[in-house]
Each structure stands twice: as structure tokens, then as C-alpha cells.
Amino acid sequence: MSDKSFQKKQYIIDTAAKVFAEKGYKNVTMKDIVEICEISRGGLYLYYDNTAELFVDVMKCQAESDEDFTSLISDDATAADILLLFLQEEKKNLFRKKNNLNRALFEFYFDNRPAKSDNVYRKKFDENVKVIRKIIEIGLEGGEFICEDPHTAAVNIVYLLEGLKATSLTLGISPDSFDRQILYILQSLGVDA
């Protein structure tokens, strides 16, 4: 693929991302993409044969552009500080209006259960578990946290975050409610909040 068509592909990915953020995955048609991208029907098919293929690229692209969380950590941060930072990042993502793919992601994976280990969603999930677990272990070493099973604790937090995401899409949740959960997590780890 030439450089030019690479840019066009990128343009489609970026533009389509907005539609997916707006309408979810299942409600988006090739026609929607064509219209928002202002390209021809046939033109889109040069790059993608269906919305699934395109959405995979949208996900990959978003995964790449994910800010590196570690860069946000200041030198003198305690484990609790870091965990708080992490959770506030998640909160920010959840309440973000623009480019929020949460709904589309759920809908896509409901339809396309990932068999392969290389799928974006699982990667993110596992990575989050690893990061949180690491933070907890740091907190344990420093005597900040109390936790018998750091791995399960980390998984618990990630499941909780999934629950918050899902609920924000079904019933809606308030920032306050999210905050209370952050506090609860920290308390569970033995931090006086």
C-alpha cells in the first residue's frame, strides 16, 4: 500500500471512530462510514470489506494512542497515589464524551468472542491487571497496603471497572458514585482515605 493510501486508511479509521463512539458498533453500517468519511461506496471497500474489519483497526489504533500511564507518575508518589491516579484515568476515560468506544467495544465483543490470545480487549484487560497488581505489591512492600492475594485484588478492580463501564452504558452512573468506589477500593487495601 502506498503512502497516500496509508493516509487515507488512517483518515477512515479516525473518522469512523467518531461514528462508532456515537452509535456503538451494531448500529453502524458501511453506508454510515461512507457518509461521514465523504467517500464513495466503492471507495470504502478498497480498504475495508465490512464494519468488523474496520472496527478492529479502530481499536488497534486507539490502543496505540493510549497514553502511557506510567509517564504520569511523579517520583515521590506513594502506591496509593499511583493507584488513585490510575483509577482517575479510568474515570476520565469513562466520562469522556468524545471518542468513547466503550459501548462499541462491548457490542463488538458480544458478537465476536475473541478466540485468539492476540485480541486487543484481552490484552488491555491483562495489562491492567498486571499494572494494578504491581502497584499493590509496591504498596505491600512499603507497608501502605494490606492484601492477602494481590492478583485477585487486581482482578477484582478490573472487573469492577468493567462493571462501572457497563453500568454507565445501561443505567448511567454519576462521577460521585465512581469516586465512592475508588475510595472503597483504597479502604479495602487498608488505606485511610
Binding residues for DNA (CB under 7 A): 1-2, 4-5, 8, 29-31, 39-43, 45-47, 49-51
47 contact partners, CB below 8 Å, separation of at least 6: 5, 8, 9, 12, 54
- Out of a copy of itself, DNA, none, what residue 128 binds, judged by CB under 5 to 8 A for its kind, is none
Smallest distance, DNA to C-beta of residue 32, A: 7
| Residue 16 burial (CB count, 10 A) | 24
| 71: Cα separation from own chain's centroid | 17
Residues 61, 14: contact at Cβ < 8 Å? yes
The nearer residue to DNA, 5 or 152, going by C-beta atoms, is: 5
The nearer residue to a copy of itself, 36 or 166, going by C-beta atoms, is: 166
Rounded to whole angstroms, the Cα distance separating 128 from 117 reads 16
The nearer residue to DNA, 53 or 126, going by C-beta atoms, is: 53
Smallest distance, a copy of itself to C-beta of residue 52, A: 14
